Amino acid sequence: MHVLLLILDGLSPRHVRPDVMPTLTAMGESGGWNRGGGVGVMPASTYPNHATFVTGVTPAVHGLWSSKIPTPSTDPDDPARPPGSPAPLIEAWNVGPRSPTLFDACTRAKRSTAAVLGDHHLVGAMGADAADMCWPEGGSFGPEVARDALEYADDAATAERIAEAVGRAPDLLVAQLNGPDTSAHLYGPDSDEAFEAYRWNDSAIDSVRRALEPRWEDWVVMVVSDHSQEDGQGESIDLDDAAARAGVEARIIRDGSAAIITGEGGRHPRWLDAVEAVVGREPLAADTVVAWGRPGSSFGEFPWGIPGIHGSPRTSPQVAVVSGGHSAVGALAQWVEATSPRGTDWARKIARLLELPADSGIPA
């Protein structure tokens, strides 16, 4: 058995339909497909959910709440941190998940692994440098790699590398195509430009499917997305100002249509009740909450500034498709159609399929 976990960044389940994504639709119809989608972890953003896909745990456990997180150093004598000042923020991909990943577990169980990631930052955010083969090596693209408007790898270029990895037949292949997210950010998730990107993404999926065909009966294919997107042209919510007016110390980390709040403001979040534009919140840890506002809203002194955003529960729906020719696909197809899968479920299913030991670090 070989398992492919293919992640489509920023694609909503509502866009998986025959006239837009015929290949993915056909894979769902021949295998298993939850048309309403699965449910990602909060915040509904790229790095928290990708880390969850390979660890099977929530951001409260793996530690990656956003693209930027407080520096994990707890040294009170750290010269980079003045006394009493909050920990500086650091990119999530420079830290990585603090929980064991599928790559770690497979290595311990002597299972072969590969990772092909169109977002180069995911090499660090997913701990993918622990895979036997990882592209882009070192988390950096060479000049020969075609890029999209946000400098991520073009889906066609990434699909070519995925097809090459399929030929190596690793026990586990984790791959990611970034195109839908880029176009939805730049033009809006329901724009003509975004639909063109979804069709281009589907053609990339088709090239991967064709690479799988010679040994189709050996593969279990799971196709997911990390989050959806929503229109981002609404109001801005300045939580820094609101916290100052409430006399609350709070670190606000902006994340599209969500905001992560740490410190006193996260430990005692009742002050958010007075912020009319905030419509919900959810605890992430003892001193951390994630909050979200009305549809279209983003956080900061000024609007987020791009047509498509994500982060709120409105963008937590994830594509959930199971395909492949292996005999294990039947039971998985029944599961995915009967249950709205959680983001934490996929690593656990993969661990069982590959018969990783109970002490692998991946939750049962």
CATH number at residue 290: 3.30.1360
Q: Please state the length of the chain.
A: 364
Task: State whether 213 and 321 are in the same domain.
Answer: yes
Give the number of other Cβ atoms within 10 Å of residue 84's Cβ.
5
Residue 84 is predicted with a pLDDT of 55
What DSSP designation does 87 have?
A: P
Query: Residue 109's domain spans which residues?
Result: 2-229+311-353
Nearest in space to 265 (alpha carbons), one of 280, 287, 284, 286 = 287
Task: State whether 204 and 285 are in the same domain.
Answer: no
Note the helical H segments in the chain.
22-30, 46-55, 59-62, 102-108, 122-125, 155-168, 179-187, 192-212, 239-246, 264-267, 329-338, 345-353
Tell me the CA distances in angstroms from 179 to 199, 204, 324, one per residue in order: 10, 10, 23
Task: State whether 244 and 221 are in the same domain.
Answer: no
Tell me the CA distances in angstroms from 7 to 25, 116, 117, 329, 360, one per residue in order: 15, 10, 9, 18, 23
Rounded to whole angstroms, the Cα distance separating 280 from 289 reads 10
Please check whether residue 359 lies inside any domain of the structure.
no
**Crossing angle between the packed helical segments 192-212 and 155-168, to the nearest 10 degrees:** 20
Residue 343 is predicted with a pLDDT of 98
Residue 53 is predicted with a pLDDT of 98
3-state secondary structure of 16: coil
Residue 76 is predicted with a pLDDT of 52
String of DSSP letters for 181-235? HHHHHHH-TTSHHHHHHHHHHHHHHHHHHHHHGGGGGGEEEEEEES---EE--S-
Stated pTM of the model: 0.95
HSE (side-chain half, CA atoms, 13 Å) at 77: 0
Task: State whether 118 and 207 are in the same domain.
Answer: yes
Residue 215 is predicted with a pLDDT of 97
Residue 301 is predicted with a pLDDT of 78
Residue 71 is predicted with a pLDDT of 80
Task: State whether 264 and 199 are in the same domain.
Answer: no
Written as six digits, the tokens of 62 are 């793996």
Please check whether residue 285 lies inside any domain of the structure.
yes
Q: How many domains does the chain have?
A: 2
Task: State whether 182 and 322 are in the same domain.
Answer: yes
Residue 268 is predicted with a pLDDT of 96
Rounded to whole angstroms, the Cα distance separating 10 from 7 reads 9
Task: State whether 207 and 240 are in the same domain.
Answer: no
**Mean pLDDT of successive 10-residue stretches along the chain, which has 364 residues:** 98 98 98 97 98 97 92 58 67 95 97 98 98 96 95 97 98 98 97 98 98 98 98 91 95 95 95 96 93 94 85 98 98 97 98 95 91
Task: State whether 12 and 153 are in the same domain.
Answer: yes
